[in-house]
A and B are shown apart, each in its own frame.
Chain A
Amino acid sequence: MKRVTLALTLALAPVLASVGAQAETLKTVKDRGMLACGVSQGLPGFSNPDDKGNWTGLDVDVCRAIAAAIFNDPTKVKFVPLSAKDRFTALQSGEVDVLSRNTTWTLSRDTSLGANFAGITYYDGQGFMVKKALKVNSALELNSASVCVQTGTTTEQNLADYFKANKMKYEVIAFAGADETVKAYESGRCDVFTTDVSGLYAERLKLSNPADHVVLPEVISKEPLGPMVRHGDDQWFDIVKWTLFGLITAEEMGVTQANVDDMAKSDKPDFKRAFGTDGNLGEQLGLTKDWFSRIVKAVGNYGEMYERNVGAGSKLQIARGLNQLWNKGGLQYAPPIR
């Protein structure tokens, strides 16, 4: 019943909210003294509370970077854990200022939800995980399998498309939460667990014996994940977008959490523009001149964030792949700060 009550509250929120408040997200955040950030209910590497209750992960760091850009303090974030099916309503109703919750950018979500995607933090794709004991080597061998999936995701539709396109039969069992889904997979209710590949690696860590499970090689969809903001506040949209671009630019420029203070003294024109020693690009965003160094000081550059949360420095050990910078063979590319 709790879920229904939550859904109902969220549904009624736009009824009660006034129109004016939508346009001034930055002011609302400053008045509140906190950024309200929608995250997952626990996905290692992306948004997950650690053993001390601190939120960590790639999506979490995006929110910390935004908070740092506004308040010069990455701790001024209130994290709101949301299930896949409640997340958009929470953003629409103003319960969160930004939704940074491994959410796939699609056309229909961009147009019909009253929200915009502010960029891509992680290039992902949907995959399958099965028990090693089944001796399955390819997703094309999954005819007649039972598949566990989390409800309210693009995953459900990709799954239907893939099995239909390959003329295979399957049974889908859709659960409301990620934990229930994994539990059902582990108990043997399904042969296959499907979600984004990064999620498969993350959830595999939660299984009692991760080595008994294997992620199949097929990636059946494009899942570009990124933060979302509400329609109607372009300044806020710009702030979130450029925080993300700032993180990527920092990696490209070789600015790290450790050397940011030295780099800020650089005489190179593009460095001076980014650090605000020349011009007022930060103020044009509605932030301060030193927004760029604030961000990097708080969470490091994109590459550092990646390694710490999902890459070599984490338990997930996911290779950079598509998420490498554009000039190193990947897709991460930021427009110039000028």
Chain B
Amino acid sequence: MLGGKAGWNGIILQILFVAVLVWVGYEIIANARSNLAAQRITSGFGFLNNTAGFDVNQALISYSGSDSYSRVLMVGILNTLLVSVIGIVLATILGFLVALGRLSPNALLSRVSGAYVELIRNLPLLFQILFWYLAVLAALPGPRQSISLFSTFFLNNRGFIVPRPIEEPGFMPFLIALGVAIVASIGLRFYARRELFVRGHAMRIWPYVLGMLIGLPLIAMLVYGAPVAFEVPVLKGFNFAGGSRIIPELVALTLALTMYTASFIAEVVRAGILSVHKGQMEAGLSLGLSRGTVLRLIVVPQALRVILPPLTNQYLNLTKNSSLAVAIGYPDLVSVFAGTTMSQTGQAIEIIGITMGVYLALSLITSAMMSFYSWRLGKRLGA
């Protein structure tokens, strides 16, 4: 029966099953509501408009204690997104490099890459996060003994402090010049490819591109003045004032998530590349292409079809694993919303519900984007 054609009996069974499911769902909600009312526990989503009254040490949007809980939710989501996006990009790059290293004919490189994968993927992630946070970053000196680079960049156990750019009058012309240079470069590349494919005439365009990308903004700067001024951090009281700071919690979490996930991505990529018949590589080499070019143009595009589905899994894992942030005080969604907000309002059902909804949405969006990419790739490869 399973998965086969059902017939009338099957259809009736299915309708019954759905009815039971709806009834169970309704009972759960009704029971929870009456229990909450009986215990006089506040329910509903009205709390989102209440004042939060606590501070957060990293917010990508402006936030203070007098903002509402819905603002806290946004701060939490953005912090989770920040660490996930950085983690995904870095883990993908590192994962590909390690996989290529492991497949390399160079014995040393392949052994080192193999050791990396076996070591990192076999240690618990929470342990790695705590290792980076407590063993590595906490060992840095305090603010007064900061490691400084040209007295403008400072590294200490409060984070990495860099000068902050402040907009000057020359900022807009600079931006416009840069934009023009980029558009012109893309146009030039388009033209060069057409020349190559239609007339078989190869052009060397990089000197022009480089000239435009550097030259145009430089002219804008000379005419309108510097686009930005830098606010240099100075030690004031307990911490540095001025400048921007990358907090050590973010660094520890990103490092651990990147390295951990990269070890899995490396294996996924290796499997994908090995799934491409070795005749493809041999054919490419015998045409006189270099190993790198064969990989880039022939092997990897075919391997991607195998790589993408498990790669999506790794991206989803990384996003969800970022909730371990709570162990080291990084203000992600679970920490500020499902943690502090839940404890202050006591509205566990609503808050856990919202949190689940956010993670679900993030995961679905990620897989949808990956599916779209894989669909486009499939079309290009003519599959």
Contacts and interface: CB of A to CB of B under 8 A. Distances in A.
Interface residues of A, number: 60
A4 B334 contact: yes
B41 A157 contact: no
Contact of A151 (B65, B324, B340, B349): B340
Interface in A316-335: none
Contacts, number: 167
Contact of B338 (A4, A18, A161): A4
A176 B335 contact: yes
Given A4-B334, A15-B28, A161-B53, A174 B340 contact: yes
Interface in A159-182: 159-161, 164, 170-176, 180-181
Contacts of A336: none
Given A85-B342, A89-B348, A145-B239, A173 B157 contact: no
A184 B349 contact: no
B53 A157 contact: yes
Contacts of B34: 19
Contact of B138 (A142, A175, A187): A187
Contacts of B57: 171-174
Contacts of A161: 53, 65
Contacts of A266: none
Interface stretch (B216-224, B257-265, B325-333, B363-371): B325-333
A188 interface: yes
Given A145-B239, A146-B238, A174-B335, A180 B327 contact: yes
B372 to A, nearest CB: 29
Nearest to A164: B65
Given A144-B238, A152-B344, A183-B134, A14 B55 contact: no
A140 interface: no
Interface string A1-28: 1011001101100111111001000000
Contacts of A19: 34-35, 38
Contacts of B329: 148, 151, 173-176, 180-181, 184
B225 to A, nearest CB: 32
A152 B346 CA distance: 10
B237 A160 contact: no
Nearest to B66: A164
A92 B343 contact: no
Contacts of A14: 32, 35-36, 39, 41, 349
A43 interface: no
A113 interface: yes
B54 interface: yes
B251 to A, nearest CB: 12
B244 interface: no
Given A14-B36, A17-B35, A114-B41, A180 B340 contact: no
B71 interface: no
Contact of B54 (A3, A145, A157): A157
Contact of B42 (A84, A89, A112, A164): A112
A263 B106 CA distance: 89
B29 to A, nearest CB: 8
Interface in B219-265: 236-239, 241, 248-249
Interface in B305-342: 323-324, 326-329, 331, 334-336, 338-340, 342
10 contacts: A89-B342, A112-B347, A159-B55, A170-B55, A172-B55, A176-B327, A176-B329, A180-B328, A187-B134, A191-B238
Given A176-B327, A189-B157, 4 more contacts: A7-B342, A92-B346, A92-B348, A112-B42
3 closest A-B pairs by beta carbon, nearest first, are A152-B343, A114-B41, A114-B39
